[in-house]
Amino acid sequence: MMEVFLQNWIYLIGAISLFGIGLYITLTDENIFKIIVGLNIIESGTNLFMIAIAWHPKAVMPIYTATNHLVVNGKVVSADPLPQSLVLTAIVIGLGTTALALTIGVKIFEKYGTLDVRKIKEAKR
């Protein structure tokens, strides 16, 4: 019973928890680099969520070969390939955002001499 539950839900629960952890870090932390890490955790959570909904415990790979039958007794048994391709796009976008965020973080450190959000707010202009 527990095993079935874990098989079906563990990835979804994990993905949502990652999302929550990331959101918590992003909203509460005062260090700019930790905020960026939080953003990355949020993105990982979303990507894992998308992969998890396309998958079920007995799924086969979505490639048709002589021995790998995608449809058994009229039911599709393969994993859904579309969310996986969407995740590839989302990962690339996440990479771009992270790179830009780190660049801005470095610039902020050069100009303000600190990475603490509160101190940046106190420094006028």
Partner 1 sequence: MNIFNNAALLIGVPLLFAFSIPLFGLISKELAKWVTLLTIGFNATFSLYILLAHKYPAIVVMGNWLPPFGENLYIGPVAALLVSVISVIGLLIAIYNLWAIKRGDVIRFSILFLMFTAGASGMVLTGDIFNLFIFMEITGISSYALAAFGPERRALGGSFKFLVVSSIGSTLYLMGVTLIYTQLGTLNIAEIAARINQTTPALLTFAGILIISGLAVEAELFPFNGWVPDTYTGAINGVSASLSGIAAVSAVYALFRIAMTVFGRSGGAYVTTYGKIDFMTVIAILATATVVIGELSALSQKNVKKMLAYSSMAQMGLIAVGLSIGNELGVYGGIFQLINHSIAKSMLFLIVGILVAAGVGENIDDFKGLWNRNPFLALTFSVGAFSMLGFPLFGGFWSKFAIVAASVQRGGWYDFVIGLVLFASVVEAFYYLRIVAYMFMSDTKQAKIKTPLIPAIPIFILAVSIVAIGVLPQLVGTFSAQAAGEFTHKMSGYVLNVIPTIVAH
User: Where do contacts with partner 1 occur on this chain (CB under 8 A)?
Assistant: 19, 23, 26, 32, 35, 39, 42-43, 46, 49-50, 53, 82-83, 86, 89-90, 93, 96-97, 100-101, 104-105, 107-108, 111-112, 120-121, 125
Task: State the nearest-atom distance from the C-beta of 60 to partner 1, in Å.
Answer: 18
Q: State the burial class of residue 42 (Cβ atoms within 10 Å of its Cβ: 0-12, 13-18, 19+).
A: buried
CA angle 100/105/16 to nearest 5° reads: 70
Q: Provide the minimum distance between the beta carbon of 116 and partner 1 in the complex, in angstroms, as a whole number.
A: 12
Closest separation in Å from C-beta 108 to partner 1: 5
At which residue do the structure tokens 């393969």 appear?
78
55 vs 60, beta carbon nearer partner 1 = 55
Strands (E), the chain: 71-72, 75-76
Single-letter amino acid code for the residue at 84? Q
Residue with token string 């303000």: 112
Q: Residue 66 corresponds to which tokens in the numbers above?
A: 């002589």
Nearer to partner 1, 1 or 15 (CB): 15
**Residue 121 C-beta: closest distance to partner 1, Å:** 8
CB nearer to partner 1: pick between 29 and 66: 29
Nearer CB in complex with partner 1: 61/106? 106
- How many helices (H) and strands (E) the chain has is answered by 4, 2
